[in-house]
A and B are shown apart, each in its own frame.
Chain A
Amino acid sequence: MRLLVHLVAKDLLRKMRSPLGLIAVLCFPLLFAGMIALAFGHGDSIPKVRMLVANEDDGLLANGVASVFTSQQASKFFDGKTVTTAEGRALMEQGKASALLTIPKGFTKDVLDGKPVTLRLLRNPSEGILPEIAEQTTGALTDILDGGRRVFDKPLADLRPLLDDDGKAPADADIVAISLAVKRAIEGMSNLVFPPAIALESEMFDNVKAAPQPDEHEKGDAPSSIFLLVLPGLAVYGLFLVADQGMRDVMTERTLGTLRRQLAGPIAPESIILGKAVYTAVLAGMAIVVIGGVGAAVLSSPVSIPAFLLLSCALVLAVTGTTAAIYGVARTERQASTLGNMIFLAMGFLGGGFIRVEGLPPAVRGIAPFTPLYWGTQGYRALLENGAGVRGVATHVGVLALMGIVFLGIGVAGLRRTARRGASA
């Protein structure tokens, strides 16, 4: 233990003497999140997507689509409003909406009949990201509807006469038949085919007369700021960069010749590697304290401290393990640096560090849970956005800890090889 403390203290002292790299890496998530927050330009509250829905059909499915944007649950991100097509276009012309979704007449019937249908989305070109959010959400909704329509083709066909039957209760036999059809449909989900039968047409509305800023009362009133919305993903990404600096020291010491010198002393290679892992963990922990401190300074609602600490510890283990594995696999410092940058960047995109996972294509979304960055980011978001407690982040903590232990095992095995090479160099 004394030896471990001695090794870590030496590394921390060295880092204190040359702190620029660490400071730069620590500043990255804070600056980047701050810049994104500033880019929105309306203070620190999240602007909502002002979504107009022109429901020309008013059928069961059409109402379902419209409710996605106008329901209570959607009110956190959407300021949804049901309008006629003419009203919608007028509001769009005045620049008073982010997007106008038109659900065509006969939508429900055509979907149930298996005919191709098209939803139309007009986007406001004078707004930046909000119409994009509207398009991404509508696109995802279209995919879900299209998939659902194909999977449940048979039960929907059975259901259609019942919907037309003037509100009479369906017979038990009909319900059983439809239930069986649903079961078979789910089993046959693999038969999904393309092209889609329900499509989304999205275009930029080019007749906007003005683009007024939303009124104060129209601004989002969510308590969290944009800064805090983007900070978790960037902070977790930043942690990987910090950990990279710690674990890279194994290679640096090999180059300096100090690794070889240590190995000529009464110290086992495993102790040196463990020392570097603890040093890396300490750096990552310090980074969490700094970033968490800044986050807490702008936070308006309380966060569960035990959950935060638990999640942070698991994340520190995961980033230490991940970087150890990278440096354990690589043969040279240059190789490790290249490999590390590639992996961190890929995780940043795939794991929701740069873009929220909900905004990623479905195929990419499936990869995200395989990255520790995803679990770290989602865990912090659960704390910040949903007010989750220890139970709310238990899965995140478990997965991160497991990933950390597995990766650390791989890393230690590889770094022992590096140490042996360093000794015989």
Chain B
Amino acid sequence: MFQVQGLVKSYGPLRAVDGVSFTVAKGELYGLLGPNGAGKTTIMSMLSGLLAPDEGRILFDGIDLAGEPLKVKAQLGVVPQEPALYENLSARENLSFWGGLYGLSGAPLKAAVDRVLELVGLTDRAKDPVKQYSGGMKRRINLALGLVHGPRAVLMDEPTVGIDPQARLNILEAVKQVAASGTTVIYTTHYLEEVEQLCDRIAIMDHGKILAEGTLDELKRRVGGRDIVTVRGSFDSAAVMPRFEALPGVQVTSVEPGRLVLSVEGSGRGAVDLLSRVLADGLSIDGISIQPPSLNTLFLNLTGRELRD
């Protein structure tokens, strides 16, 4: 459904998106995972036709977005990161306006509004002005606005940022239902557990590039059953690095003053062996953390830093 080819977007010297390509099949829930500043929102802006790429192109069902933007936009739903609502209108009035903007009217519009209110669990508050809603409720209505016209594909840009766990759960549940109904979803987040829970395929991004892409299992396999061991202490990282590299099954991923990140073979056993050696060598250690294979360890393995750094 979506074919993204060689997208590039620069802001002055900063290359916010640097040659990104991916495809998303019909009915797929595709996750873009990366820390803040990775370029996720810029990609979403380009996918929704709000921002023109410097290079590359976006095809939706074979239609070039740049060539026929209104035709493509009519089939998309957009859920922006920050709720974009008319606060002095009610949820129903907001939904009716946005539905009407996409050409719905009369009974079909009313039915669509009722459907999405039900989906996000706000039917009983539909007549209240949005300004009376909690942050979580605003997020839910923000999601509903992107769905009211029944789009074939929805672009969701970090729809759960800054809300309480209960509201987040509601939104994730709604996203699952949307995907289950056959709607294609592109979902950006920096929460690992969200993509693990939701997405069929995941692209891991940093500094405007896709570092890895695949299903959750495929990505975990890329870590290769290796633990990520982070060693912190008052030692000269550069000096001790060769000692770790010389150990069997150990790869040094990142070297910083007083901090080494190592990829260790052996699913738990290897990390324990490494720990014994480190202690035996008499290094001044402040702390050691061991992370089993996961998307975070993959990200750490790929970038040398954690997703939340």
Contacts and interface: CB of A to CB of B under 8 A. Distances in A.
Interface of A: 2-3, 6, 10, 13-14, 17-18, 256-258, 260-268, 423-424
Interface residues of B, number: 30
B49 A256 contact: no
B145 A261 contact: yes
Contact of B84 (A6, A13, A258): A258
A308 to B, nearest CB: 34
A10 B70 contact: no
Contacts of A267: 70, 101
B73 interface: yes
A268 B89 contact: no
A256 B101 contact: no
A216 B195 CA distance: 88
A261 B48 CA distance: 10
Contacts of A268: 70
B86 interface: yes
Chain B, interface SS category: loop
B88 A264 contact: no
B50 A424 contact: yes
13 contacts: A6-B97, A10-B86, A10-B89, A14-B88, A256-B84, A256-B85, A261-B78, A261-B84, A263-B50, A264-B50, A265-B74, A267-B101, A424-B50
A103 B185 CA distance: 91
B51 A6 contact: no
A266 B73 contact: yes
B74 A266 contact: yes
B86 A258 contact: yes
A6 B101 contact: yes
Contacts of B18: none
B64 to A, nearest CB: 16
Nearest to B100: A6
B88 A256 contact: no
Contacts of B51: 423-424
What are the nearest 3 A-B pairs in CB distance?
A: A257-B84, A266-B74, A17-B88
B102 A264 contact: no
A231 B277 CA distance: 92
Given A260-B50, A261-B145, A266-B102, 16 more contacts: A17-B129, A256-B86, A257-B82, A258-B84, A260-B80, A260-B84, A263-B49, A264-B48, A264-B73, A264-B80, A265-B101, A266-B70, A266-B101, A266-B103, A267-B101, A423-B50
Contacts of A266: 70-71, 73-74, 101-103
A17 B145 CA distance: 20
Contacts of B129: 17
Given A13-B93, A424-B51, A262 B85 contact: no
A3 B101 CA distance: 7
**Which of B49, B71, B88, B97 counts the most A-chain CB atoms under 10 A from its CB?**
B97
A320 B70 CA distance: 28
Nearest to B49: A264
B5 interface: no
A298 to B, nearest CB: 35
A14 B131 CA distance: 13
Contacts of A6: 97, 100-101
